[in-house]
Chain A
Amino acid sequence: MTAPLDVPATPTDPAPVPTVAGVSATAIQGRSLGQIAWMRLKRDKIAIAGGLVVIFLILVAVFAPLIVGLFGHDPIQFNSDLIDSSTMAPKDGTGISAEHLFGVEPVNGRDIFSRIVYGARISLLIAFLATLLSVVIGTLLGVTAAYFGGLVDSIISKTMDVFLAFPILVFAMALAGIIPDDAFGLTGDTLRVALLVFVIGFFNWPYIGRIIRGQTLSLREREFVDAARSLGARGSYVIFREILPNLVAPILIYATLLIPTNVVFEASLSFLGVGVRPPTPTWGGMLSDAVRFYTMPYFMLFPGMAIFITVLAFNLFGDGLRDALDPKAR
C-alpha cells in the first residue's frame, strides 16, 4: 500500500484545527469498558437469573442465624420424639410439618431446613476463601512467570505441572487424618475450615495460574507495554498499572467458574468424612449421612439440590460474565 503522498496539496491539514479529529465535545457521552460489559450482561437473562440466585445464596449464608431463628430450629438440636425407634426413620417417613419445612433427618431428627441453611455458610465460605487463595497465588505466579520468562518461567511452569499431577484427594484424606483437633493455634471448625481452604485453594492455583500466564504472555508483547518501558517505567509499574488491569476480566471470569468447582470439592471431602466434622452441618456431610438410608432417597434430595443449584447458578453467571467481559472468547 502506497499513499499518494507525493501529491503536493494533501486535502486535510489537521493540526491547527482541533475539531477535525472527531465529534464535538457535547456529543455522545463516553462509556467505559465496565459500563459496556454491564450493558451486555444485563441483556443476558440466564446470566442475570444465575446472578440473582448467587446473591440469594450469599444472603442466606450471611443471615443464616436470622433465617433459622424465624423459621426453624437449631441445626444441631436433636428431635428424638419425631423418630420411629425401630426403623430409625422419621415417624411419617419425612417428618415434614409446619415446624420442620423440609422434614427431619433420620436417627436424630435434626431439622433439615436449618441444616441446609447453615450448610450454605460452610460451603460458600470455603469455596470463596479457597478461590481467593487460588486466584491470588495463581495470578501472582502466572504474571511473574510470563513477565520475567526464562528460568523463572521454567521453574514456575514445572511447579504447576507437579501440582496438577498431585493426588489431591488422597493428600486431603491423609492430612485430615494426621492433623489433630487443635493445631496452628486453631481449633474445631475453624481449624477444619482453614484446612479445607488450604487444601482446595493451594492445589487449584495452577489452573488459574496457567490461564493468567498465557494472557500475560500475549499482553507483554503488546506495544503499550513497550511504550511504558520506553518512558522509563519499572517492572512493577508495568505489571501493576499496565498488565493487571487487563487481567481483571479473566480473573473475574475464572474465579466465578472456580467457585462451583470448589463447592463440589468441599462437598466431596465432607462426604468422604475429611471435611468439617459433625455435628456442624455441611451439604456433603448430609449427603453422606443420607447414603446410609438409601432406601429413603428423600434425605438426599435437599443437600443434593442445594449443591446442584449453587453450582448451576455460579456456572450460568460465570458463563454470562465471560460473554459480557470478553465477547471474543466464544
Chain B
Amino acid sequence: MTDPLLSVQNLQKHFPITKGLLKRQVGAVKAVDGVSFDVVKGETIGLVGESGCGKTTTGRLITRLIEPTGGKIVFEGHDITHASQGRMRPLRRDVQMIFQDPYSSLNPRHTVGAIVGAPFRIQGIKTEQGTKKAVQEILELVGLNPEHYNRYPHEFSGGQRQRIGIARTLALKPKLIIADEPVSALDVSIQAQVVNLLEDLQNELDLTYVVIAHDLSVVRHISDRVAVMYLGKIVELADRKSLYESPMHPYTNALLSAVPIPDPKRRKERERIRLQGDVPSPLNPPPACRFHTRCWKAQEICSQVEPPLLALATGHQVACHFPENAPAPGAVSTTGEGLVTADGGPAAGDGTAAE
C-alpha cells in the first residue's frame, strides 16, 4: 500500500469545562476520543454519525481550525498535529474545507470575486493573468456564470452559494478537501446537483475528499470507504459495499435500518431497529464500549472491556465484541479465513479483546 495522503492516528479533542474564577477544570467534553484512519490519494472517505458524535470536530481538527488534545495528524509525511500557524500556512493550500451552511460561510459584505479571490490574496499568490481571470475560470468550473464576479452572496440561491463556497475551496488547487456536511443545508433537488459537481471535480482535478455527513444516502453515493462514528470514536470502517451490504457493528445496523426506503413493499420486509434512549453525554461517556448502553446485543463484557477497532474481513474494521455478519471470530487480517461463524458470542469476544 502506498503512503496515505492523510493519516490520522488516535486523534483526540477534549473541550475543558471550567468553573469559578480560577478556571478550575471540572471535566471535559470528549468530542473526539481516539480516532484513527488513513486517507489514500484519490479516494473519498465518508464520515457518518448522529449529531454530536464528533465528526465535524474531526474535520476541524484536520484543517487545524482547532487544536488537537492528543494524537497525531500526518499530511503528506508532515506531522501537522501542533504545527504553528506560520508553518501551517503553506500547507493550507493543500488542505481545504467546504462548509456546511452556505448562508454563513460567505461574508455578506464581500463580492463573489472577493470571496473566491480571497485565497490568492491571503496566500499571496500571483496568477499569470491576474486574480480576476483566475477567479472567473474557477466560477465557470463550478458551473457559475463568470459575469457574476461583482455580485454579492445575497443575490444567489442556496445551491449557487454552495457552489461559490466550493469555488473558494478549489481556488488554490488543494489535494485534500474536507467537506463538512456539504449538502445538508440544501434542498434535496439541489443536493444531487452539488454531490454530482463534487464527483465531477474529483475526476477532473484528482481530488481527495473526506466527506462528513449524517445522511447515509449521500455518503453511499459519494464515498469509496465509510467510517461510522459514535460518541467520539470510529465504530466501523469499511469500503462502501461491505458496509452497506453487510454491516458488522450493531450501531451501523441500526443506522442503516433507519434509512427510508422509497418502496413501501420493500419497506415492510425490513426490520426497523429502534435504539432505546438518547446518545449518552460525551461529558461522561459510558465505560468500555460506548454503545453498550443502547445495544441490544450488549453483555457484561461490553461494559468492562473496550473492543478495539479490528479488521474482521479484508478492509472492514469494526469495534465490537459481538459483530454481526462477521466472517470469522477473531479473524484478524493476519490470521487465516474460514473459522467458525460469529454467533458464538462471548468466547469470541473475549478472544478479540484479549489481543
Residues of A within 8 A of B (CB): 1-6, 10-25, 30-33, 222-224, 226-234, 237, 242, 245-246, 248
A5 vs B211: C-alpha distance when bound (angstroms) = 15
Given contacts A3-B188, A5-B195, A18-B143, contact A246 B109 (CB under 8 A): yes
Within 8 A of A (CB), among B181-195: 183-184, 188-189, 191-193, 195
Contact B215 A232 (CB under 8 A): no
Contact A13 B118 (CB under 8 A): no
B152-160, B226-234, B303-311, B345-353: which lies at the interface: B152-160
Q: How far is the CB of A324 from chain B (nearest CB, A)?
A: 15
At the interface, yes or no: B5 with Cβ under 8 Å from chain A?
A: no
At the interface, yes or no: B108 with Cβ under 8 Å from chain A?
A: yes
Given contacts A6-B221, A25-B145, A223-B101, contact A15 B152 (CB under 8 A): no
Please pick, from A14, A25, A230, A245, the residue contacting B96 in the complex, using a CB distance under 8 A.
Answer: A230
A134 vs B107: C-alpha distance when bound (angstroms) = 27
At the interface, yes or no: B20 with Cβ under 8 Å from chain A?
A: no
Please pick, from B105, B123, B147, B191, the residue contacting A231 in the complex, using a CB distance under 8 A.
Answer: B123
Q: How far is the CB of A282 from chain B (nearest CB, A)?
A: 40
B68-76, B85-93, B126-134: which lies at the interface: B85-93
Complex interface: chain A residues within 8 A of B144 (CB): 18, 21-22
At the interface, yes or no: B3 with Cβ under 8 Å from chain A?
A: no
A6 vs B263: C-alpha distance when bound (angstroms) = 13
Please pick, from B95, B107, B146, B160, the residue contacting A224 in the complex, using a CB distance under 8 A.
Answer: B107
Residues of B within 8 A of A (CB): 60, 63, 65, 85, 88-90, 92-93, 95-97, 99-101, 104-110, 118-119, 122-123, 140-148, 150-152, 154-157, 159-160, 163, 165, 168, 172, 183-184, 188-189, 191-193, 195-197, 200-201, 215-218, 220-221, 259-260, 262
Contact B155 A2 (CB under 8 A): no
A228 vs B145: C-alpha distance when bound (angstroms) = 23
Please pick, from B143, B152, B201, the residue contacting A17 in the complex, using a CB distance under 8 A.
Answer: B143
In the complex, besides A6-B220, A223-B101, 11 extra interface pairs with C-beta distance below 8 angstroms are: A5-B221, A12-B193, A13-B200, A16-B200, A18-B144, A21-B163, A22-B145, A31-B155, A227-B118, A230-B95, A232-B90
Please pick, from A4, A12, A248, the residue contacting B262 in the complex, using a CB distance under 8 A.
Answer: A4
Given contacts A22-B156, A229-B65, contact A223 B105 (CB under 8 A): yes
Contact B97 A227 (CB under 8 A): yes
A275 vs B280: C-alpha distance when bound (angstroms) = 65
Query: Which of B90, B107, B215, B220 is most buried by chain A, counting CB atoms within 10 A of its CB?
Result: B107
Given contacts A3-B188, A245-B110, contact A234 B85 (CB under 8 A): yes
Query: Which of A12, A24, A33 is most buried by chain B, counting CB atoms within 10 A of its CB?
Result: A12
Contact B218 A3 (CB under 8 A): yes
Complex interface: chain A residues within 8 A of B145 (CB): 18-19, 21-25
Please pick, from B96, B156, B168, B191, the residue contacting A5 in the complex, using a CB distance under 8 A.
Answer: B191
Please pick, from B60, B143, B192, B201, the residue contacting A3 in the complex, using a CB distance under 8 A.
Answer: B192
Contact B92 A33 (CB under 8 A): no
Complex interface: chain B residues within 8 A of A2 (CB): 215-217, 259-260
Q: How far is the CB of B48 from chain A (nearest CB, A)?
A: 12
Complex interface: chain B residues within 8 A of A226 (CB): 60, 65, 97, 99, 105
Complex interface: chain A residues within 8 A of B146 (CB): 18
